[in-house]
A and B are shown apart, each in its own frame.
Chain A
Amino acid sequence: MLIAVFMRELLLALRRPTDALAALLFFVLVCSLFPLAIGPDAALLRAIGPGVVWVSALLAVLISLQRLFEPELADGGLEQWLLSPQPLTALVAAKVAAHWCIACLPLVLAAPLLALQYGLGGETVGLLVAALLLGTPTLVLLGALGAALTLGVRGHVLLALVMLPMSVPPLVFGCAAVSAGQQGLPAGASLSLLGACLALAAFLCPWASAAALRLALE
C-alpha cells in the first residue's frame, strides 16, 4: 500500500514536471543571487557559503510544501485517505517520503555545483551533501506538519511562521557541521545531532500531521 502511495506521487510529479522542478529552480536562483549581491570577495563567500545553501534549501522546501496537501484537499482525495482502513500516519509518511525524493533529492544533487560558486573545498562539499541528506528530510517532515496544521488557510505566511521556528535546530546543526569541516574540526557531533533531529521528526511528525489533517477535515 505504501509503495502504491509512493509510486503514485512519483507518477504525478512526472506528469507535472514544472511543479516538481520549481523547488530546484528556486534553490539555484537564490543561491546564485547572493554572490551577485555581495560581490566576488572569495574569503567572504567561502565563509557564508554553507549558511546560504542551507537557507536556500529551507526556503525551497517551504515553497514546495504548498503542493503537498492542497491538491488532495481541493479534489476531495484527502477525505478518501481519511476514510481508508489504512492507518493515516503510514499514508502521510509515504507521501512525505515521496515528496522528499521529488523536491529535495534534486537539491542535494545540485548542492555540489552551487558549492563551487562559493569556493568550498572538496571535503567541505562532501560534508555539505551529507548534512543536507540528513537535514532536508527533517525539514520536509516539519513542513508537512506545518502544511497539515495550516491546510486551507489563505496565503502562505502562516505556514512559514509555523514551520520556521521548529526548523531552526536542523538549520543550525547543519551549518555547524559544514563550518566545522571548513575549519578542519570534526563534524561528527553536528551530524549526529542532525541524525537525532531526523529520528525525532520521523517518529513524531507523521503522527502529528495525521492528527492535524483529521482536524482540518472535521
Chain B
Amino acid sequence: MTHELTTGSLPAPLRRPAPRWRRLASPPVFHGFAGRLVPGFAGLATVLALAGLWVGFAIAPTDHQQGEIYRIIFIHVPAAWMSMFIYLVAALHAGLGLVFGTRLSPLMSRALAPTGALFTVIALWTGAAWGKPTWGAWWVWDARLTSELILLFLYLAYLGLVSAFEDPRRGDGAGAILLLAGVVNVPIIYFSVRWWSTLHQGSTIRLDAAPAMTHTMLAGMLLMALACWAYTMAVALARVRCLITERAALEAQS
C-alpha cells in the first residue's frame, strides 16, 4: 500500500518514526489490529449479555408498581444509552476527520452508524412495548420520545447521505458535517425529561444522586449496558475492516 505524501511534507528519512498508537491511524495497520480485537469483544459481549439478562430476568425483584413488565428496562435503557453514545462517538470521529483529515475517521463513523440506528430502533420499539401496558398508549409525543425519533431520522439521513455520492470522499465529508450539525439533538434527548414535564419517567440514574432503584436492578442494567457496548465494539470493528478493504480496492483502481 503506497503512502501518500501531503503537499509540503518532509521526505521519509527526515521523519521521526510515529509512536505506536499513532500508527493505528493508518487503515492497513488498523485492519490487522481490529481483526485481533473482534473475537475478544464478541466473546465479552456474549458473556456480559448472558449475565445481564440472568440478573435482570431471574434475580431482580418484581417492581411493586409495574409488575413484571418493568423488566423490559434491561433492554430499553441500555439501548437508549447506546443510541446516544454511539452518535456522540460517530460525531467525534466526524470532527476528527474534518479537522485532521485522518483517513480512518470517516470509516469509523460509517461503521458505527448502522449499529446506532439499530439501538435507536430497539429503544423506540421496547419503549412502545413498555408504554402500552403502563400508560395505555403505544406512542406519546413527549419530548424524550420525539427527540429519540429525531435521532433515528438523523441516523437514516446520515446513512442515506454517505451512500448518495459516487466520490466516497464527498460522502465522508458531507456525512461528517451532517453528524456534527445534528449533535445538538443528543443533549436535548438526555435533558428533555428534566427540562419539560413529560410522561416519561425522570432519570433514575444520575451522577449526582443515589439511584432510585435497588442494587440488583442497577447491576442488571449496567451489565446490559456494558454488553451493548462490547457488542457495538465488535460489530463496528468488523464493519470498519470491510470498509477499509473496500476503500483500498477502490483507490487501487486506476
- Do any CB atoms of chain A lie under 8 A from CB atoms of chain B in the complex? yes
Question: Contact residues of A with B, CB < 8 Å?
Answer: 145, 149-150, 153, 158, 161-162, 164-166, 168-169, 172, 200, 204-205, 208, 211-212, 215-216, 218
CA distance A162 to B160 in the complex (A): 9
CA distance A212 to B98 in the complex (A): 11
Residues of chain A lying within 8 A (CB to CB) of residue B177 = 145, 149, 208, 211-212, 215
Whether A161 touches B174, Cβ cut-off 8 Å, given contacts A150-B161, A168-B146, A172-B146, is no
CA distance A215 to B169 in the complex (A): 9
Jot down 26 A-B pairs with beta carbons below 8 A, ordered by A. Answer: A149-B174, A149-B177, A149-B178, A150-B174, A153-B165, A158-B160, A158-B161, A161-B153, A162-B157, A162-B160, A165-B154, A166-B154, A166-B181, A166-B182, A168-B150, A169-B188, A208-B177, A208-B180, A208-B181, A211-B173, A212-B173, A215-B170, A215-B174, A216-B174, A218-B167, A218-B169
Residues of chain A lying within 8 A (CB to CB) of residue B169 = 218
Residues of chain B lying within 8 A (CB to CB) of residue A205 = 181
Q: Is the interface of A mostly helix, strand, loop or mixed?
A: helix
* Closest beta carbon of chain B to A210's beta carbon, Å: 10
Question: Out of B150, B160, B180, which one reaches A161, CB within 8 Å?
Answer: B160
Other than the known A149-B174, A204-B181, A216-B174, what 13 A-B pairs have Cβ atoms closer than 8 Å?
Answer: A153-B164, A158-B160, A158-B161, A158-B164, A165-B150, A165-B154, A165-B185, A168-B146, A172-B146, A200-B184, A211-B98, A215-B170, A218-B167
CA distance A161 to B98 in the complex (A): 22
* Closest beta carbon of chain A to B179's beta carbon, Å: 11
B156 at interface by CB-CB < 8 Å: yes
* Closest beta carbon of chain A to B113's beta carbon, Å: 14
Residues of chain A lying within 8 A (CB to CB) of residue B161 = 149-150, 158, 161-162
- The residue in A149, A208, A218 that gathers the most chain B C-beta atoms within 10 A of its C-beta is A149
Nearest to B151 among chain A residues (CB) is A165
Tell me if A165 and B153 are in contact (CB < 8 A): yes
CA distance A168 to B148 in the complex (A): 12
Nearest to A155 among chain B residues (CB) is B164
Residues of chain B lying within 8 A (CB to CB) of residue A165 = 150, 153-154, 157, 182, 185
Residues of chain A lying within 8 A (CB to CB) of residue B164 = 150, 153, 158
Tell me if B165 and A145 are in contact (CB < 8 A): no
Residues of chain A lying within 8 A (CB to CB) of residue B178 = 149, 162
CA distance A76 to B130 in the complex (A): 55
CA distance A210 to B15 in the complex (A): 35
Question: Contact residues of B with A, CB < 8 Å?
Answer: 98, 146, 150, 153-154, 156-157, 160-161, 164-165, 167, 169-170, 173-174, 177-178, 180-182, 184-185, 188
CA distance A166 to B178 in the complex (A): 10
| Cβ-closest 6 pairs across A and B | A165-B153, A215-B173, A161-B157, A149-B174, A165-B154, A162-B157
* Closest beta carbon of chain A to B168's beta carbon, Å: 12
CA distance A153 to B170 in the complex (A): 12
CA distance A218 to B153 in the complex (A): 28
Residues of chain A lying within 8 A (CB to CB) of residue B154 = 165-166
* Closest beta carbon of chain A to B87's beta carbon, Å: 12
* Closest beta carbon of chain B to A69's beta carbon, Å: 14
* Closest beta carbon of chain B to A47's beta carbon, Å: 14
Question: Out of A168, A172, A208, A216, which one reaches B170, CB within 8 Å?
Answer: A216
CA distance A216 to B164 in the complex (A): 12
* Closest beta carbon of chain A to B247's beta carbon, Å: 17
Residues of chain A lying within 8 A (CB to CB) of residue B156 = 161
* Closest beta carbon of chain A to B95's beta carbon, Å: 12
CA distance A218 to B188 in the complex (A): 34
CA distance A150 to B173 in the complex (A): 11
- The residue in B153, B169, B174 that gathers the most chain A C-beta atoms within 10 A of its C-beta is B174
- The residue in B164, B167, B169, B182 that gathers the most chain A C-beta atoms within 10 A of its C-beta is B164
Tell me if A218 and B170 are in contact (CB < 8 A): yes
CA distance A205 to B98 in the complex (A): 16
CA distance A169 to B181 in the complex (A): 13
Residues of chain A lying within 8 A (CB to CB) of residue B184 = 200
